[in-house]
Structure 1
């Protein structure tokens, strides 16, 4: 064999076909829908998907595929993590949920009072407030007592004569007609009063010799009136007490002590029939019947007591 000359080497290289250098092969992992087979599909995809080398494709093509691959991997990882978190949440049975709802309802019912309790509380508060108001009115009306002033008494007719009682017993008997006057004043500033009275009795030595009835009336607030009551007695037996009164003329000849008694009752309606203060006035007058003063009014201003 002989060594090739430069000319021969040149001719050989010129006659042989030109070969390009061998380019490396790149593989891209394709996204998988099933997270459970990510590893297997990634391996298969890695071996089965060839990609052109950077020399055979533009430089930006490789970077975009790589970015897409990373985004797909991150999305699959985040999705798997969410599914895992959901699977780790405690599972509640339907009956447990229902029992919790019932317990919550019972707690809310226990924390809130029934509507009936509110009604009872409102009614109780109204009754207490109304009672307090009525008590205040009653206390304010009590000092406003009516004022009664006895004015005079006039003896129109007095006669003593012999007779007999219903059983036939002989005794002196007296007949008397008189008129009693007094004033009644209602001092109440916000209520009127209904006024009645016991019989007006005129007694001699504890024997009632005359009586009169005062008719009931209504007196408005801050007002007054003058009342006249006829006090009469007809043939009242005196028994042993009539000796000092008897005379031949039938008219007493000496002064006689008499007593006048009555009780005036007043009732005020401050708040309808709920607040009704009552006032009682007991009156006693000591009168001297002088035969010289018959048919003349006798003043009672200084001879009466009021209880």
Structure 2
């Protein structure tokens, strides 16, 4: 009985609803779309699962056209794949690889240019060093040739004569006060200097010209220095003198000079060294010549003021 009443009431309610509602246009056919089970699809779907769990597929009806449902599904799928990592990762990697490739190429080009620059600098340095070495070798060879050639042009020195103007022996005291004979002597030595070189001149100096009686020094003179040009010659005159030279009895023959000067004959030695310097190539190439001269001279009291020939009485070393 209660079941019949409940059924009646349901029918009545249905009939009343049908009577009260206005007539509607025929409904469009319903379409059922199965929603995906992921969360993105659940968020984008227009219905929710009755169970609230994504593991249970459910069906819902929608008055939307099937094409709209398809576009919604595609939109959901695009949103699913809309992660920037997925969308831009490939392009970013390609772009990054492109930048890396460009940077690598630039680095390789810079390295190549650097290597080429360093190799060019090294090659230039080697060529410069070779040029300098070759120049030094050639200059050295040329200098040696000039130096060797200059040795064949040795200066020529000839002692011509000596003239004793006067000499005097008198009693006196040495600087310490010891009484002894004192000698005063004046003489002149003449020589000829000749430079036979064809491509250089010479600077000439000399050591003192000394007159000795064995080991006893009697007189000395200094020759003035001069410059002798190529292929030329000049006479040289030097004064050789001694003033108040103590004898200490060393020359006994001079003891008679006070009374018999014309009978005095004293053998002496004239010695000196002539130095010649030739600047062939400036001061870079120099050639030196030394000539040691020794002449046997005789002081004669009866030939004062006369020239005594020494051409054959001198030795040259």
Shared fold (TM-score, shorter chain, > 0.5) = yes
The 5 Å alignment of 1:110-259 reads 111-114=119-122, 115-247=124-256, 248-249=258-259, 251=261, 253-259=263-269
Question: Gapped runs of 5+ residues in structure 1?
Answer: 1-90
Contact 2:262 2:302 in 1 (8 A): no
Q: Which runs of 5+ in 2 are unaligned?
A: 1-97
- Whether contact under 8 Å (1:152, 1:301) holds in the other structure is yes
TM-score (norm 2): 0.64
State the aligned residue count: 217
Check whether the contact 1:199–1:262 (CA below 8 A) recurs between aligned residues.
yes
The 5-angstrom pairing of residues 1-307 of structure 1 reads 93-109=101-117, 111-114=119-122, 115-247=124-256, 248-249=258-259, 251=261, 253-307=263-317
Give the secondary structure class of the aligned counterpart of 2:250. helix
Give, in angstroms, the shift of residue 289 of structure 1: 1.9
The answer to whether the 8 Å contact 2:277/2:288 transfers is yes
Whether the 8 Å CA contact 1:177–1:233 is kept in 2: the answer is: yes
In structure 2, C-alpha distance between the alignment counterparts of 1:302 and 1:109, rounded to whole Å: 76
**C-alpha distance in 1, partners of 2:302/2:187?**
15
Q: The residue matched to 2:144 in structure 1 has which SS?
A: helix
2:261 touches 2:302 (CA, 8 Å); kept in 1? no
Instruction: Specify the SS of the correspondent of 1:172.
Output: strand
Report the equivalent of 1:71. Answer: none
**Distance between the aligned counterparts of 1:134 and 1:266, measured in 2?**
19
The structural deviation recorded for 1:163 is 1.1
1:137 deviates by 1.2
Deviation at 1:254, TM superposition (A): 3.5
Q: Cα RMSD between the aligned structures?
A: 2.1
Mapped to 2, the partners of 1:215 and 1:231 lie a distance apart of: 13
What is residue 58 of structure 2 aligned with on the other side?
Answer: none
Q: Secondary structure at the match of 1:128?
A: helix
Distance 1:304 1:118 in 2: 58
Q: What secondary structure does 2:286 align onto?
A: coil
